[in-house]
Amino acid sequence: MISEFIKQHKLSDAFKDIATQYYIPLAEEISSHHKSAQNTYFVGINGSQGSGKSTLSEFIKAYLTEAHSLNVVVMSLDDFYFSHAKRHSLAANIHPLLQTRGVPGTHNMEQAQTVLNALRQQLPATVPRFNKATDDPHPTANWTTISEPIDVVIFEGWCWGVHAQTAEQLKTPVNKLESEQDKEAVWRTYANTQLSLHYATLYSYMNKWVMLSAPSFEDVYAWRLEQEQKLIAASGSGNHSGLMNEQQILDFIQYYQRLTEHGLNTLPATCDHVFKLNSKRKIVEHIKKDVHE
């Protein structure tokens, strides 16, 4: 099963050791807790851009499906991004930086709550899909339709699980983007407020929290650049209008810096599993706490 997963996702053979040592025990724990709960079990996964949270999520799904015959759905916070047109409206009415997808306030969290509610009640649901190559949601015909009860829901996202900062923390810019384009802190304050109002309220759905912890924000640029190059390769000769070059990536990740660093500083204390990564994304430490048991 691991070999097939490696082949399907074009991973290196090193993933076999990671899966055996870390990911399979985690999946077995999730399976055990799902049986105890006797209801849909929700797992939240946090990780910075390019950290491997999508791979972890898909592996847990594949393993639980094959080893335990469970119905598993993976959802990404990224798939709930507002359309380009909706973000244009936010940019015009609140702050120009909201045109760019990324921070809290650029996702449709009302839609996310509707989906989570339906899955918890084991009702049919439709999960949106976002196309980063066009910077818009996929047509609704390409969304994921769920028609049968789900055993395990995996919800992953770069700021999923992160809580709002204090007003004092918002005062000082963390990078050039904030110091030059958000001098009055309107953009970051809006994002922070949205995080508190519409994201944190959904965290209670999660029964277990897992974090892939980057060594520092500096590593995120290299990971994100690699991720974009894969997107470009995957889209072939198609529409690349939403994809970015190296300089654009460097500018783009500044939108994510504040909350990524905030998450790196705060989430390890509240997650049940923290997988600490080095710059090569190798797990160098596993901290298990079972905070939410």
pLDDT in tens, 139-177: 999 999 999 999 999 999 999 999 999 999 999 999 999
Q: What local confidence, expressed as pLDDT, does residue 241 receive?
A: 56
Q: What local confidence, expressed as pLDDT, does residue 237 receive?
A: 59
Residue keyed to tokens 């969304």: 143
Say how far apart CA 181 and CA 150 lie, in whole Å: 44
Collapse the DSSP code of 179 into the 3-class scheme (helix H, G, I; strand E, B; otherwise coil) and give the result: helix
Q: At 183, which CATH number?
A: 3.40.50.300
- Does 207 reside within a domain? yes
Domain count, the chain: 1
pLDDT band at residue 240 using 50, 70 and 90 as cut-offs: low
- Does 255 reside within a domain? yes
- Does 256 reside within a domain? yes
Tokens at residue 260, please? 């990524």
Amino acid at 109: M
Q: What local confidence, expressed as pLDDT, does residue 242 receive?
A: 61
- Looking at residues 13-30, what average pLDDT do you find? 97
Question: Residue 31 is part of which domain span?
Answer: 2-288
- Does 92 reside within a domain? yes
Least reliable range by pLDDT among 11-20, 24-33, 110-119, 236-245: 236-245
Q: Indicate whether 194 pLDDT > 60.
A: yes
Q: Indicate whether 27 pLDDT > 90.
A: yes
- Does 293 reside within a domain? no
Say how far apart CA 282 and CA 271 lie, in whole Å: 19
Helix axes 2-9, 53-68, angle to 10 degrees: 140
Intra-chain end-to-end CA distance of the chain, in Å: 29
- Does 218 reside within a domain? yes
- Does 169 reside within a domain? yes
- Does 279 reside within a domain? yes
